Amino acid sequence: MAILYFSDKVKALEFLTKFRWSDGKPTCPWCGSQENSFVSTRSIWKCKACKKQYSAKSGTIMEDSPIGLDKWLPAIWMLCGCKNGVSSYEISRDLGISQKSAWFMLHRIRLAMQSGSLEKKLSGHVEADETFIGGKLFNMHLDKQTRLRMGKKRTGGFEGKAVVMGLLERHTKQARVKVLPNTRSHHIRGNVDANVEKGSTIYSDSLQSYKSLPKDGYVHEFIDHAESYVRDNVHTNGLENFWSLFKRSLKGTYVSVEPFHLQAYADEQCFRFNNREFQDADRFVQVLSQIAGRRLTFAELTGKELDSHAN
């Protein structure tokens, strides 16, 4: 539906223009002037005050992209609406662009899906849990299996896997996720301190790292999953639900995700989870409201910019 609706480039431009500038008058991002002339052949405006050019994409995740709005807007709609995500190959087929371009587009959209503000911490009753993302042992090469089995006592069998920690505020059903280097106590405690108000009740499993939470800061209740999964209101079932959705999207849609990009996929799933009661159109509008002021270059996405700084 979105592909057909935005297939008209003029209609797509009019839609984004009205969305970005509520009064319908494009404003120069350089000097703030609304005096401009429209260049229809390039779908841009030229500011009469500072003489600079700009478009509806300027200052957004779409800036400098040669791909038209008739491709961008349907891609945003599809990623917001598909419960298990949407692969770059599907975007490529449906929109008629290369898979590489579709992959880059999706990562820029995921940047817009990140929570706009985390100043307000979670409070009340908060579930805390972690999961491990990575391949199954029996699918690995024999040499790697041997190394993992030899180090099992030391690592718990999770060597080589990425750690993702989640926090869920029960009364609002809002989740936050963060990729951690490991499950050591200072990483667990630091993430809780950064995202949960003091005085809240933390529900977790029996992981030893949670026992380092300051007793004068939080009320900590835990459940040993070797014995049971629920004891009265002590459980982490809300986050277990989130993990099942997250892993379904990773295994069924994205298949192979590099640890370097894992946080972006976690943010994507977290956005859909936190807005699961909204209609597709509401999630679409929510993402569009967060596209401004964010930029992701291909060098940043592929790690080349980090390599250049390191050298």
Please give the average per-residue pLDDT across 256-285, as a whole number. Answer: 94
Beta strands 36-39 and 44-47 are antiparallel
Here the tokens at position 255 are 């298949």
Q: Which domains does the chain have, with CATH numbers?
A: 8-56 (no CATH), 61-114+274-311 (no CATH), 125-257 (3.30.420)
The overall average pLDDT reported for the chain is 89
How large is the average pLDDT for residues 79-107?
95
Residue 202 has pLDDT above 90, yes or no: yes
pLDDT band at 145 (very low <50, low <70, confident <90, very high): low
- 211-240: per-residue pLDDT in tens? 888 877 899 999 998 888 999 999 999 999
Tens-digit pLDDT profile for residues 186-197: 999 999 999 999
Mean pLDDT of 53-65: 94
pLDDT band at 112 (very low <50, low <70, confident <90, very high): very high
Mean pLDDT in residue range 257-284: 94
Buried b (16+ CB within 10 A) or exposed e, 104-130: bbbbbbbbbbbeeeeeebbeebbbbbb
Q: Read off the pLDDT of residues 247-268 as tens digits, 9 standing for 90 and up.
A: 999 999 998 899 999 999 999 9
Pairing of strands 201-205, 219-223: parallel
Provide the 8-state DSSP code for 67: S
pLDDT band at 48 (very low <50, low <70, confident <90, very high): very high
Q: What pLDDT shows up at residue 85?
A: 94
Residue 211 is predicted with a pLDDT of 86
Residue (of 235, 244, 271, 247) closest to 116 by Cα position: 271
C-alpha to C-alpha distances, 35 to 14, 21, 199, nearest whole angstrom: 18, 14, 54
Per-residue confidence band for 155, with pLDDT thresholds at 50, 70 and 90: very low
User: CA end-to-end span of the chain, whole Å?
Assistant: 47
Tell me what pLDDT residue 45 has: 95
